[in-house]
Amino acid sequence: MVLSRRWSAFLIAVGVWTWLIWPRFGLAIWKDDRAFSGGSPTSFLWVHAVLIVASLAIGTTVGVLGVRAWRAAGNPADRRATEGPAAEDLAAVRAGTPKD
Protein backbone atom coordinates (compact mmCIF):
# COMPACT_ATOMS: atom_id res chain seq x y z
CA MET A 1 0.00 0.00 0.00
CA VAL A 2 1.27 3.45 -0.88
CA LEU A 3 -0.07 6.46 0.98
CA SER A 4 -0.65 9.82 -0.66
CA ARG A 5 1.73 12.67 -0.04
CA ARG A 6 -0.94 14.36 2.09
CA TRP A 7 -1.23 11.37 4.45
CA SER A 8 2.55 11.01 4.49
CA ALA A 9 2.92 14.65 5.53
CA PHE A 10 0.33 14.11 8.25
CA LEU A 11 2.29 11.16 9.67
CA ILE A 12 5.52 13.17 9.58
CA ALA A 13 3.77 16.05 11.36
CA VAL A 14 2.52 13.68 14.06
CA GLY A 15 6.08 12.42 14.58
CA VAL A 16 7.46 15.96 14.83
CA TRP A 17 4.62 17.04 17.11
CA THR A 18 5.39 14.14 19.44
CA TRP A 19 9.00 15.26 19.80
CA LEU A 20 7.94 18.87 20.39
CA ILE A 21 5.34 18.14 23.07
CA TRP A 22 6.48 15.17 25.16
CA PRO A 23 9.98 16.39 26.17
CA ARG A 24 8.43 19.64 27.43
CA PHE A 25 5.87 17.61 29.35
CA GLY A 26 8.72 15.52 30.79
CA LEU A 27 10.44 18.64 32.10
CA ALA A 28 7.20 19.80 33.71
CA ILE A 29 6.78 16.42 35.42
CA TRP A 30 10.41 16.44 36.57
CA LYS A 31 9.94 19.86 38.19
CA ASP A 32 6.61 18.91 39.79
CA ASP A 33 6.65 18.62 43.58
CA ARG A 34 5.03 15.18 43.36
CA ALA A 35 7.88 13.71 41.29
CA PHE A 36 10.24 13.14 44.22
CA SER A 37 9.73 12.28 47.86
CA GLY A 38 12.77 12.40 50.10
CA GLY A 39 15.08 12.49 47.10
CA SER A 40 13.60 9.31 45.58
CA PRO A 41 11.41 9.17 42.48
CA THR A 42 7.75 8.54 43.19
CA SER A 43 5.27 6.41 41.29
CA PHE A 44 3.94 9.67 39.84
CA LEU A 45 7.30 10.21 38.11
CA TRP A 46 7.66 6.58 36.99
CA VAL A 47 4.18 6.37 35.50
CA HIS A 48 4.71 9.56 33.53
CA ALA A 49 8.21 8.49 32.47
CA VAL A 50 6.80 5.27 31.01
CA LEU A 51 4.04 7.24 29.29
CA ILE A 52 6.54 9.67 27.78
CA VAL A 53 8.93 6.95 26.57
CA ALA A 54 6.08 4.94 25.01
CA SER A 55 4.67 8.04 23.31
CA LEU A 56 8.07 9.02 21.92
CA ALA A 57 8.60 5.50 20.59
CA ILE A 58 5.19 5.45 18.91
CA GLY A 59 5.64 8.98 17.56
CA THR A 60 9.06 8.11 16.16
CA THR A 61 7.65 5.02 14.47
CA VAL A 62 4.79 7.01 12.96
CA GLY A 63 7.21 9.69 11.74
CA VAL A 64 9.54 7.13 10.15
CA LEU A 65 6.58 5.48 8.43
CA GLY A 66 5.56 8.92 7.16
CA VAL A 67 9.02 9.55 5.69
CA ARG A 68 9.03 6.13 4.03
CA ALA A 69 5.53 6.75 2.64
CA TRP A 70 6.60 10.18 1.37
CA ARG A 71 9.50 8.64 -0.50
CA ALA A 72 7.33 5.87 -1.93
CA ALA A 73 4.70 8.36 -3.11
CA GLY A 74 7.31 10.54 -4.79
CA ASN A 75 7.93 8.44 -7.87
CA PRO A 76 5.02 6.51 -9.41
CA ALA A 77 7.47 4.13 -11.09
CA ASP A 78 8.67 3.03 -7.65
CA ARG A 79 5.21 1.65 -6.95
CA ARG A 80 5.60 -0.99 -9.62
CA ALA A 81 7.62 -4.17 -9.60
CA THR A 82 11.25 -3.89 -10.60
CA GLU A 83 11.42 -7.46 -11.90
CA GLY A 84 9.16 -9.79 -13.78
CA PRO A 85 6.15 -9.17 -16.03
CA ALA A 86 5.18 -5.87 -14.41
CA ALA A 87 8.62 -4.42 -15.09
CA GLU A 88 8.44 -5.60 -18.70
CA ASP A 89 5.04 -3.93 -19.08
CA LEU A 90 6.43 -0.71 -17.62
CA ALA A 91 9.42 -0.78 -19.98
CA ALA A 92 7.11 -1.35 -22.95
CA VAL A 93 4.87 1.57 -21.97
CA ARG A 94 7.87 3.85 -21.56
CA ALA A 95 9.14 2.80 -24.98
CA GLY A 96 5.75 3.61 -26.47
CA THR A 97 4.94 0.06 -27.51
CA PRO A 98 2.34 -1.37 -25.13
CA LYS A 99 2.56 -5.09 -24.65
CA ASP A 100 -0.44 -7.25 -25.54
pLDDT of residue 82: 54
Domain boundaries, the chain: 5-95
Task: Check if the beta carbon of residue 70 is closer than 8 Å to that of residue 5.
Answer: yes
Is residue 76 over pLDDT 70?
no
Q: Mean pLDDT throughout 88-98?
A: 71
Measured CA distances, 25 to 31, 32, 47, 60, 82 (Å): 10, 11, 13, 17, 46
3-state secondary structure 35-94: HEECCEECHHHHHHHHHHHHHHHHHHHHHHHHHHHHHHHHCHHHHCCCCCHHHHHHHHHH
In which band, very low, low, confident or very high, does the pLDDT at 13 lie, cut at 50, 70 and 90? very high
